[in-house]
Amino acid sequence: MSGHSKWATTKHKKAALDAKRGKLFAKLIKNIEVAARTGGGEPEANPTLYDAIQKAKKSSVPADNIERARRRGAGEEGGGADWQQLMYEGYAPNGVAVLIECLTDNKNRAASEVRTALTRNGGSLADAGSVSYLFNRKGVVILRKNGLTEDDVLMAVLEAGAEEVNDLGDSFEIVSEPSDLVSVRTALQEAGYDYESAEQSFLPSVSVPLDAEGAKKVFKVIEALEDADDVQNVYANFDVSDDVLAEVG
């Protein structure tokens, strides 16, 4: 799993710096709006909203944008869209399974965007349930190392419900059950550790190893999907080695 996680973490950092920043901001703002609508507008009483706001702050989304999204979602300000949460399933090249999480105000447009991104890049849409069984819902916290060791992190989070700590190079990935996510990130805060992000995610139970050629094809599909305005997150069950990551850049 670490190969996929390392790729995703690196990609997110780059996205915060490059020309796709506006698209990333829009997705993070949408997350805040939906979290506030579904769980209430007070971050301290709504862990999903709290984590969505923290992630947006870490990605340098302006504070005014964050607050307006929170207010729209909470109904304190007009203009919020009626976002629907949808999940599509599909395949990328090399038999890689893909879960595509969407937030949209137009279900037909979202379905069309997902289908087009897949089929134009060697993938295909799959029936519901075809690949979702290959993934488990987990709580995932990303923590920059900043001189910390794996033992330091384990000491802080083990009693909070963490299941494993994975070394991603510059960061640690802390995996837990979704219900333990808040206690894990709270334990990190109490230990004085500044985490990058905390959110529920889908992690694969079985991974498909890829060489450089296969990785290029799969990354192309994922990038096409993530370029779609209605797509929030893409999860895939590939694994790539450090050498392959370096080769494909």
DSSP states of 38-85 as a string?
HH-S-GGG-HHHHHHHHHHHHTT--HHHHHHHHHHHHTSSS-----EE
pTM score, whole prediction? 0.86
Residue 168, pLDDT score: 87
Residue 143, pLDDT score: 93
pLDDT digits (tens, 9 = 90+) for 231-249: 999 999 999 888 888 888 7
- The CATH code that applies to domain 2-74 is 1.10.10.200
* pLDDT, averaged in runs of 10, over the chain (249 residues): 62 57 86 94 94 91 94 86 91 97 95 97 96 96 93 95 91 95 95 92 94 94 92 93 85
Residue 59, pLDDT score: 85
Residue 24, pLDDT score: 84
CB distance 125 to 88 below 8 Å: yes
Phi and psi, residue 83, nearest 5°: -75, 135
Residue 169, pLDDT score: 85
Residue 242, pLDDT score: 84
